[in-house]
Structure 1
């Protein structure tokens, strides 16, 4: 009863504000509160989050566009091996889970519709994918991905009275952490005509903009106009642009349906998939700047009609396969020479060898490391039990250590 009362109290506090006054931070605080117990797919905490988002859509003025008002439930049986396909719409019973997409529409009576999405599920008390090594604990997922949902809601407020040459379909996806399940289900069971979808914008982990303002934008090759638009509207960020429409987030489901996509990401960090991903650590000023930037991109494209789709090379096809791990979180936003370490995993080879966050790996064994790909290719040559010399740049000084895999 105490759990329900606290949830109601938080919801009432936000409900007392006018929709325009509910901030990005307000939304993150509610969605990443302990009371939602990590929003794992199919749990009561995820259902409470879905209800909250539906209420926010209604307050903003987005119409219900799910199959049950704002909600689009889907029942599935989880995979028992990585090569198995998930079966949807199975009868409820043992080992079945019900996820819920939340869908709202700003209907401008336009010919085409822009989809704006973000997943809202997370890892509960530490589901598969957790990097936590300790006692059972709630994974609140403030950055992953309350941050994306909060920016989505901010964009909905901005678009309510502007850029009316398109309709806007806002979707918060369930089941992303289990394999992009909610977005995949929606694309296969859409509540609008997907042939009328202009393009899709996805936001996943957009809450940790760093001091150098590095922002990754994926999918810039999926329509010929994207690169120019993304670049010409940028005055705040150090952009890292990736052409591919394939990646580990929900934009992939739309790209696979021949829809142009843009995916925004501020990078991994040492709290990724851990209980320490809490609201206090987010950069809210940076999140507002990202929201404004995405709005400017949408505004620029408002009178361009339906954008052409273009297929891109799947960059993951070139990714080597590994038999060992170094035990680090790479800084995917680093564009200097080498591979910068953004976090160290406990009791793994890197920690045992004395490597530190901020070290830049410049050599692994006999291989020079100039970027992420050369690092991965070097790592893929080792097997368990092998040893290798690693050279890192630490504050301008080269330090050598021995790694045992």
Structure 2
């Protein structure tokens, strides 16, 4: 009897020890990464280097080894674009005109045949400049949601995956240079530090900090492997999922899809603080971030015994997107799955604001064209040029309202 009691006590002790190894530090990680002291973590700056060093220390704290070209680091040097249509040139020479970014990589080696990549970009816009939607005086863009949120959830998953789901290895990556054109992930895809042919799938988290009251969560890349939709559905009892099959999008998962790796990108939507100094830590939904982390963990757990996932090519919606010369000056609600295009934000001194359009309005007609979704909205917009004017019909609080837009 005494032996049984001792065994039970020992098992309880081990269980407590395992619980002690996991600590939720999501809020703490966001607070550090989005602090003014890092000056917006722009690629190549001292602020980004401080962020990289912090992420390395977090991996060390978790007991996860480095997997870069220099322990945890993978540096890449590039010449910035001088016009938006050219490609960035990577170089081995550090010169006055070049910038050096740093990917941060850590690896759980379970001696498995395949590896799962879990990533998030940690760079942001510094004091603004190109990419900023802020029109005021020079100010730090802290990027709490974009993308301290994704890095914090990545680190949380790293803590949860220690010693469990051991049928795969796990490569955790904090990417540099995302805001300048997916540079860090693109560089890794061309210069992998593991066998990329043995990568089962890649999970990307970019802007997962603003889960709304209706719990809408966007997941892109659901068509890149035949098993994704079923697994996402099987573990979802908390979210209103908005799924997009395409593996191509404006974030780092695209770099992996383009080398035939199945991808999933998690995203809670744009907002009025996107690419502005007001994207601060106090505006994040930390309970929502914890729920997203648990959901992704459940998906990873389900896929643990699936072996290497089959890859499937998807339609590239960006190639079908019409080009347009004018804009309304609004931020679309990319999580809206109703009829029309819902406005999630209105820019200062732009056509939409001047016409009296507001956040929450749903555009249902633009000129002679009916707007049923984002693609039809873009097609309708593409026929207009600077100096044109047209009628726009929106639904506001369920009632139609017609205004005149001057481009």
Q: TM-score, normalised by structure 2?
A: 0.94
Mapped to 1, the partners of 2:321 and 2:84 lie a distance apart of 18
Mapped to 2, the partners of 1:98 and 1:62 lie a distance apart of 25
Mapped to 2, the partners of 1:122 and 1:154 lie a distance apart of 20
Q: Give SS of 1:25's match.
A: helix
Is the CA contact 1:90–1:96 (under 8 Å) kept in the aligned structure 2? no
Is the CA contact 1:147–1:205 (under 8 Å) kept in the aligned structure 2? yes
The structure 2 residue matched to 1:211, chosen from 204, 210, 213, is: 213
Q: Give SS of 1:92's match.
A: coil
Q: 1:134 Cα deviation (Å)? A: 0.8
User: What residue is the counterpart of 1:115 in the other structure?
Assistant: 117
Q: Give SS of 1:192's match.
A: coil
What are the equivalent positions in structure 2 for 1:6-405 lying under 5 Å apart? 20-405=22-407
Mapped to 2, the partners of 1:78 and 1:229 lie a distance apart of 40
Q: 1:85 Cα deviation (Å)? A: 2.1
Is the CA contact 2:222–2:263 (under 8 Å) kept in the aligned structure 1? yes
**Cα RMSD (Å):** 1.0
Mapped to 2, the partners of 1:300 and 1:20 lie a distance apart of 20
Mapped to 2, the partners of 1:83 and 1:332 lie a distance apart of 25
Question: Bigger radius of gyration, 1 or 2?
Answer: 2
CA-to-aligned-CA distance 1:78-118 (integer Å, 9 cap, x gap): 11122322221331112100000000001111111000000
Is the CA contact 2:23–2:159 (under 8 Å) kept in the aligned structure 1? no
Mapped to 1, the partners of 2:277 and 2:207 lie a distance apart of 15
CA-to-aligned-CA distance 1:227-255 (integer Å, 9 cap, x gap): 11111111110001111100000000000
Mapped to 1, the partners of 2:24 and 2:212 lie a distance apart of 24
Mapped to 1, the partners of 2:87 and 2:386 lie a distance apart of 31
User: What residue is the counterpart of 1:5 in the other structure?
Assistant: none
Q: 1:67 Cα deviation (Å)? A: 1.2
Is the CA contact 1:19–1:56 (under 8 Å) kept in the aligned structure 2? no
CA-to-aligned-CA distance 1:154-206 (integer Å, 9 cap, x gap): 00000002100000000000000000000000111111111111110000000
After TM superposition, what 4+ stretches of structure 1 lie above 3 angstroms from structure 2?
A: 18-22
Q: 1:35 Cα deviation (Å)? A: 0.5
Is the CA contact 2:351–2:405 (under 8 Å) kept in the aligned structure 1? yes
Q: 1:20 Cα deviation (Å)? A: 3.4
Is the CA contact 1:61–1:106 (under 8 Å) kept in the aligned structure 2? no
Q: Report how many residues are paired.
A: 388
Mapped to 2, the partners of 1:311 and 1:176 lie a distance apart of 23
Q: Call closer, same or farther: CA 1:271–1:219 in 2, change over 3 Å.
A: same
Task: Give the unaligned 5+ runs of structure 1.
Answer: 1-17
Q: Give SS of 2:174's match.
A: strand
Q: Give SS of 2:365's match.
A: strand
Mapped to 2, the partners of 1:373 and 1:192 lie a distance apart of 38
Mapped to 1, the partners of 2:268 and 2:85 lie a distance apart of 30
Mapped to 1, the partners of 2:315 and 2:144 lie a distance apart of 32
Mapped to 1, the partners of 2:165 and 2:129 lie a distance apart of 40
Q: Give SS of 1:39's match.
A: coil
